[in-house]
Amino acid sequence: MNYYLIISGLVFLAAVFGYLNVRFLKLPTTIGLMLITIVYTLGVLGLSFFDDTLLRAEAQLIRQIDFELVLMDYMLSFLLFAGALHTNFQELKKLRWPVIAFATLGVVASTFLIGTATYYLLQLLGTNVLYTYCLLFGAIISPTDPIAVLGILKQAGAPKKLEIKIVGESLFNDGVGVVLFLTLFEIASATGPAVEPLDIIELFGQEVFGGILLGLLIGWITFRLMKSIDDFSTEVILTLAAVMGGTVVADQLHLSAPLAMVVAGLLIGDDRARSSAMSETTEQYVDKFWELIDILLNAILFVLIGMEMLVLTYEINYLVAGLLTIPIALLCRYASLWLPVRIFERKLDFVPHTTAIMTWGGLRGGISIALALSLAPEMNREMFLVMTYTVVVFSIIVQGLTIERVIGRLLPHSKSPANPH
């Protein structure tokens, strides 16, 4: 596999599609890149009826890329760290209990609601699937994608409190969602003795709490090192080393690297940490460096998502199931958020229609596709991949394009102030 050729091709497409978006469409980067890539991919598919040379070349390129490996093992840590670095830690701290509830209880409840509803939907459509595999699909679809959410919410004008809730939930719930998926995957693929409940709790606890503790340690060490010097280039490299080294350590210790990077990013990006560890020049360079990393990886990721269309298995019952899953996913997300919102809304002064806005603003993205791609063939992988792709495309394009209008309709007098970083 020629890695340089593949990366060059992806960066070239991301640059061209990004230019077309900024020059003509002027949509949020995430939506614009994915929309242009899908139109381009449909064009390649249409051209294949006359000459399939380009289709075969591009399909071969996509099949050479292990999307799950690229996103989960390489890109995700960088993207989550960059997102957390620009999230206001003090604001998030005030809302820590609802964010924790959304990212844990909400994800677990959503997984079981979507899994159960999908099981009965597929039965109605005449497709017999094991309930465990439907629960895996629930775990795939339940986490909202911070990568998609962060880019779009910046332009949506959500009130600051609401934005912090949605972004904070997205940063943490994908880590929890990945751990939940891996736990269910272990149960579904077990061929030896049955997996005991204690084993599940131990695996879940090790991944989640171990990841958080590792993130605290990495964030603290990086902060102390940055505080002891004043050299912007070295401090930028220190943050890069924290992400790369931290991800390797998390993988070796079987801890959640996504959660570790979120916690480390929040600690290093905290206003108090910035003021005591970074000069004004260092802060500018650290922010701009991670902003550029975020933009570049986002561009490549959403071009990849759009091009995955080339290797999907198109069957009419898969597409019907995917379309019917869209309202199921939205209703189950609403139901999973309803109780935590009711518990915390009075004490923490939630804005009106919080549940509805968080439901529509909870976008799915690359993480869901990566998890679907990691399913074994016997787990109805091709069907669940098409269903996942359908929900993700609807989520990013339809929900992403209309979230600003939804917020404006439900909260006509609200407008979020600019981000402090």
Mean pLDDT on 60-73: 88
Mean pLDDT of 201-220: 92
Q: Which residues contact 38 (CB under 8 A, 6 or more apart)?
A: 306, 309, 393
pLDDT digits (tens, 9 = 90+) for 1-42: 578 888 998 999 999 999 999 999 998 888 899 999 999 999
Q: From CA 382, how far away is CA 313, in angstroms rounded?
A: 6
pLDDT digits (tens, 9 = 90+) for 340-349: 999 998 788 7
Q: Classify 125 as helix, strand or coil.
A: coil
- Residue 373 tokens, joined: 């791609």
Q: How far apart are CA 397 and CA 408, in angstroms?
A: 18
Mean pLDDT of 78-90: 91
Instruction: Give residue 195's pLDDT.
Output: 67
For the beta carbon of residue 154, count every other beta carbon within 10 angstroms: 17
**Per-residue pLDDT tens for 147-191?**
777 667 766 777 888 888 888 998 898 889 998 998 899 888 877
C-alpha–C-alpha distance, residues 195 and 192, integer Å: 9
What's the average model confidence in pLDDT over 362-368? 91
State the Cα–Cα distance between residues 46 and 331, nearest whole angstrom.
35
Q: Is the pLDDT of residue 381 over 90?
A: yes
What average pLDDT is seen over the chain?
90
**Confidence label for 418 from pLDDT (cuts 50, 70 and 90):** very low
pLDDT for the residue 203: 80
State pLDDT tens for residues 212-221. 999 999 999 9
Q: Give CA–CA dist 386/390, Å, rounded.
A: 6
- Separation between Cα atoms, residue 418 and residue 88, nearest integer Å: 12
Q: How many helices (H) and strands (E) does the chain have?
A: 21, 0
What's the pLDDT band for 192 if we cut at 50, 70, 90? low
pLDDT tens per residue across span 267-280: 999 999 999 999 99
DSSP 250-312: HHHHT--HHHHHHHHHHHHHSHHHHHHH--HHHHHHHHHHHHHHHHHHHHHHHHHHHHGGGG-
pLDDT at 197: 78
Report, as an integer, the average pLDDT of 322-326: 98
> pLDDT band for position 120 (50/70/90)?
very high
Name residue 13's amino acid.
Answer: L
pLDDT band at 194 (very low <50, low <70, confident <90, very high): low
Q: Could you give the CA distance from residue 259 to residue 178 in angstroms, rounded to a whole number?
A: 10
Alpha-carbon 150 to chain mean position: 10
> Range with the lowest mean pLDDT among 105-109, 149-153, 179-183, 379-383?
149-153
Instruction: With residue 12 as reference, give the H or E element that holds it.
Output: helix 3-20
Q: How many CB atoms lie within 10 A of CB 83?
A: 24
